[in-house]
A and B are shown apart, each in its own frame.
Chain A
Amino acid sequence: QVQLVESGGGVVKPGGSLRLSCEASGLTFSDYYMSWIRQTPGKGLEWLAYISGSGTYTNYADSVKGRFTISRDNTKNSLYLQMSSLRVEDTAMYYCARDRSIAALWGQGTLVTVSS
């Protein structure tokens, strides 16, 4: 069964950092681009970043460029999102997803709350 499971969410103060993880199972992880997407009640779905299967190529949304870093460890079938300089407006449910031109498979999400 193909599955993505996110973890690492929580409550953090503005200006703080957090690292999200996404563990994949049931697929040849290194074959796929992987993405991070977030969802807020007010702004809907927002693509944040993707990374190529080898980890060589990355691309970021302007809203997180310079603050967030996407990475992967293919030996652990895991995707990561290092988030720094967090802002109140980064509060959202964060999803990892397979592929880049389509979010073909989603996890259940992990909630990040940025609040003082």
Chain B
Amino acid sequence: SALTQPASVSGSPGQSITISCTGSRSDVGAYNYVSWYQQHPGRGPKVVIYDVNNRPSGVSSRFSASKSGNTASLTISGLQAEDEADYYCSSFTTSNTLVFGTGTKVTVL
């Protein structure tokens, strides 16, 4: 079943926010194949973090992530207006499938 994320998180410009992604021993807790995606309205998702804590080339260093047990976290520091978007986590599973999180709407106040 889907990984659990908070429905919404908000913060003021310059602040830091953290989004959690809770799964199980069969997905998040099983491998270091946790990824995070940013999706702006009307656009396809874009990877901002892969393999728990790696940033693709071109992604701002303000994005960081970690994992502890069955829960992964994405932190956006120095929040900017352009960060306002939906964020999803994903994890590869022990059934060799990919499972996504429920999604979090980030609002910049």
Contact = CB atoms under 8 A, between A and B. Distances in A.
Most buried by A among B35, B50, B96, B100: B100
Interface in B22-39: 31, 33, 35, 37
B37 A103 contact: yes
Interface residues of B, number: 23
Interface string A4-48: 000000000000000000000000000000010100000011110
B35 A47 contact: no
B97 A47 contact: yes
Contact of B88 (A44, A59, A95, A107): A44
B80 interface: no
- The A interface, classified by DSSP as helix, strand, loop or mixed, is strand
A101 interface: yes
Contacts of A103: 35, 37, 45, 47, 90, 98
Nearest to A61: B97
Interface string B58-97: 0000000000000000000000000000001010100011
Interface of A: 35, 37, 44-47, 50, 59, 61, 95, 100-109
Interface of B: 2, 31, 33, 35, 37, 43-47, 50-51, 88, 90, 92, 96-103
7 tightest A-B CB contacts, nearest first: A106-B44, A45-B100, A101-B92, A47-B98, A101-B33, A102-B35, A44-B103
